[in-house]
Amino acid sequence: MRSLDLACFVRRVAITGAIAGVASAAFIAAASVRATGSPASGLNGASQVLWGRAATRVRRVDVHHTLVGLIVHHASAFWWAGIHENPRLRAFAPAAGLRAMLVMAAAAVLDYGVLPRRLSPGLEGQLSRRTIAAAFAVIGAGLALGSWIQDRPLRLRASQVRRLLGNGNARPYEPAQATYVPGTIHTARAPLESVPGHH
């Protein structure tokens, strides 16, 4: 992968992963409040990578569980964003929505069917299966939205361009009309018939 392609790939992963991570973290926090009364209970589960299965039952907000859980959660979002934005997968499934569905289906199988339980998101300690499925759907929607935003062509009206340039009253460019002033030097030639002494 060339340096330019790598830079583009990293940018796409950063934007898509950030959208998916923030959206899903907000959803998990809201679902946790509804289920347990604490916004951190669902997010704390991811900290079981360091603290063991007991972390999935912690509901309070603290540095050891909540901060670690958020870091692990967002790292996972960027990981799946990297797969989602992989050029080969993009060529295989150009539609962002379909690609996100495939990635999240693989994520669900990997997290809850292949990996050791301690490496799972840890949501099952506080949230229902239905809510966990919805969380995966939100991550998928974030992945699709991130790709859609970046794939969407940028179209600006003339008024928007002028605002971006900092002059909302600017008019489209018009060539300036040359004015002859005696005794000045001009780069443009005057018509031959206007030059004194020319016949």
Q: Total domain count for the chain?
A: 1
Question: Is 191 inside any structural domain?
Answer: no
Neighbours of 124 (CB within 10 A): 16
Question: Is 80 inside any structural domain?
Answer: yes
Whole-number pLDDT of residue 122: 92
Helix 68-84 with 96-109: angle, nearest 10 deg? 130
Contact (Cβ atoms closer than 8 angstroms) between residue 158 and residue 51: no
Query: Looking at 6-20, 66-80, 146-160, 175-189, which range is the least confident one?
Result: 175-189
Burial classification of residue 32, based on how many CB atoms lie within 10 Å of its CB (0-12 exposed, 13-18 middle, 19 or more buried): buried
- Judge whether residue 189 has pLDDT over 50: no
- Judge whether residue 117 has pLDDT over 60: yes
Residue corresponding to tokens 């030059």:
195
Range of the domain at 142: 3-151
Nearest to 159 by CA among 150, 147, 171: 171
Contact (Cβ atoms closer than 8 angstroms) between residue 44 and residue 25: no
Question: Is 34 inside any structural domain?
Answer: yes
Give mean pLDDT, residues 150-174. Answer: 64
Give mean pLDDT, residues 109-136. Answer: 94
Question: Is 87 inside any structural domain?
Answer: yes
Reported pTM = 0.74
47 CB-near residues (< 8 Å, 6+ apart): 55, 58, 64, 65, 66, 68, 69, 72, 122
Question: Is 175 inside any structural domain?
Answer: no
Question: Is 188 inside any structural domain?
Answer: no
Question: Is 185 inside any structural domain?
Answer: no
Question: Is 13 inside any structural domain?
Answer: yes
Rounded to 5 degrees, φ, ψ at 115 are: -70, 155
